[in-house]
Structure 1
Amino acid sequence: MTTQLKICGLTDPIMAAEAIVQGVTYIGLIFHPASKRHVTLDKAIAIAAAVHDAGGLIVPVFVDQQADEILDIATAVHADFVQLHGPTAAAAYSMLTAQYPCIVAQQFSQILKLDPQRDYLLYDYEEPGSGQPFDWQQVTLDPHYRAFIAGGITAETIPDAIAHFYPFALDISSGAESVLGVKDLDKIKACYDAVERSNNE
């Protein structure tokens, strides 16, 4: 399986579009107000338009928002997927599935009736976006679901992550930044190049 790349937490439309041009497939938009990568709805709409024009896919990321808010935002940005963290957001799952495939934090997979043909599991450190890796040796991927792997992944650790998990996609945030919360196109390209090299080995 060829691993794809998601870059999460972009806040600039031009950079987001350029990331797609560089080979990134998914752009994650953070709607968690406490995050340094949080975007307003107006900015998110602009980023989503630029990403879609460049041929990429938009994934709004929610942490404990209510279902109505999630649906309103997903509709406004023409979301391709919805990513859910936290019990409140996870509880909105049943209201979203008619419209969007969901990427769901793995710890909620046992309490939700996920559809392996439509939905995806995200394996991440307990504090998403912290740049901290989780212990890969303690995790066995559920073979029924396509997996996104996150948690402190950088261009340097991408080969090991792919060799260990063979995931559907890698989900990178801090590993594509030079300054916390600010993406770096050179690092994004380095991540994509590392994914491509591993895919071709």
Structure 2
Amino acid sequence: MRNEAGGGRAAARGRAMPVEIKICGLSDEATLDAALDAGASHVGFVSFPKSPRHVDIPRARALADLARGRAAIAVLTVDADDAALDALVEAIDPDVLQLHGHETPERTAAVKARFDREVWKAIPVATADDLAAIALYQSVVDRVLFDAKPPKGAVLPGGNGVAFDWGLLAALDPSLRFVLSGGLTPENVAEAVARTRAPAVDVSSGVESAPGVKDQDRIRAFVRAVRSDG
């Protein structure tokens, strides 16, 4: 069996291990190198044509090959069918499949059963009621990822630069393996980690100079901010 990527399995929300950091939506070598050199634990590639961060399979494969062995590789998909996932897994061989659409618990479990790698499921959050989804997914995924619920009329399910009320996570089961996302930036991530005790964070738009354009300096600043808190 494939080893689990990263170290969030140690005492959730304790500090036995450093906070894991995923830089998502990478699309070129320079910003990928910036993320790797800064010490990101995970790098993510988006397979969703509506997103400004979308990369096609040949491009994602080339970037993944550069990252392999230096960070865990995640591929983000949105309601992808088996044929699409088969193609992505065959070409890119990711460590993590991140499901960011309307995948049901049954569909998520089927993806987990089909592929020998971690599966993360995004749960959009706006109010405390949204956290009821944890019970539906936590037994079928390796991690749940809390992202802000998209604004009304948004095209993208994530990467909208919107944060949610981190206080909603105060009563989480300390053993829950989760990833904090949604509106994180170099300026606010230390506070977010301190308030939520998140074992892992995921950033995309917060380290960009324009939609889909990653900024090397902001990537480095984000990682520094997380590490200074940890």
TM-score normalised to the size of structure 1? 0.89
Any idea what SS the aligned residue of 1:97 has? Answer: helix
Structure 1 residue runs of 4 or more that deviate by more than 6 Å after TM superposition:
none
Deviation at 1:22, TM superposition (A): 1.3
- Of 65, 84, 92 in structure 2, the residue corresponding to residue 69 of structure 1 is 84
- Taking structure 1 as reference, are residues 89 and 38 closer, same or farther at Cα in structure 2, changes over 3 Å only? farther
Name the aligned partner's letter for residue 4 of structure 1: E
2:193 is matched with 162
- Of 44, 47, 51 in structure 1, the residue corresponding to residue 63 of structure 2 is 47
Q: Distance in 2 between matches of 1:160 and 1:174?
A: 18
- Taking structure 1 as reference, are residues 3 and 67 closer, same or farther at Cα in structure 2, changes over 3 Å only? same
Contact 1:90 / 1:104 at 8 angstroms: preserved in 2? no
- Please say which of residues 13-22 and 120-129 is displaced more in the overlay: 13-22
What's the CA shift string for 1:71-129, capped at 9, x where partnerless? 320231110011012224765322332411111113654334625xx600101111210
Any idea what SS the aligned residue of 1:114 has? Answer: coil
Deviation at 1:19, TM superposition (A): 1.2
1:136 is matched with 166
1:33 aligns with 2:49: yes
Name the aligned partner's letter for residue 146 of structure 2: Y
Structure 2 alignment gaps of length 5 or more: 1-14, 125-132, 151-157
Any idea what SS the aligned residue of 2:226 has? Answer: helix
What's the CA shift string for 1:11-35, capped at 9, x where partnerless? 0134213311211111111111111
Deviation at 1:158, TM superposition (A): 1.2
- Taking structure 1 as reference, are residues 16 and 175 closer, same or farther at Cα in structure 2, changes over 3 Å only? same
Deviation at 1:59, TM superposition (A): 0.5
- Taking structure 1 as reference, are residues 159 and 88 closer, same or farther at Cα in structure 2, changes over 3 Å only? closer
- Of 97, 100, 107 in structure 2, the residue corresponding to residue 82 of structure 1 is 97
Q: Distance in 2 between matches of 1:33 and 1:97?
A: 23
- Of 123, 131, 140 in structure 2, the residue corresponding to residue 106 of structure 1 is 123
Contact 2:74 / 2:95 at 8 angstroms: preserved in 1? yes
Contact 1:83 / 1:104 at 8 angstroms: preserved in 2? yes
Name the aligned partner's letter for residue 60 of structure 1: V
Contact 1:141 / 1:147 at 8 angstroms: preserved in 2? no
Name the aligned partner's letter for residue 93 of structure 1: T
Contact 1:60 / 1:83 at 8 angstroms: preserved in 2? yes
Contact 1:176 / 1:191 at 8 angstroms: preserved in 2? yes
- Of 183, 191, 208 in structure 2, the residue corresponding to residue 177 of structure 1 is 208
Q: Distance in 2 between matches of 1:168 and 1:113?
A: 16
1:3 is matched with 19
Q: Distance in 2 between matches of 1:162 and 1:8?
A: 18
Q: Percent identity?
A: 32
- Please say which of residues 184-193 and 12-21 is displaced more in the overlay: 12-21
Any idea what SS the aligned residue of 2:21 has? Answer: strand
What's the CA shift string for 1:18-72, capped at 9, x where partnerless? 311211111111111111101101110011001115x111100011111331232
Structure 1 alignment gaps of length 5 or more: none
What's the CA shift string for 1:127-171, capped at 9, x where partnerless? 210000012223343433211111111111011111111111110
Q: Distance in 2 between matches of 1:64 and 1:109?
A: 19
Contact 1:19 / 1:188 at 8 angstroms: preserved in 2? yes
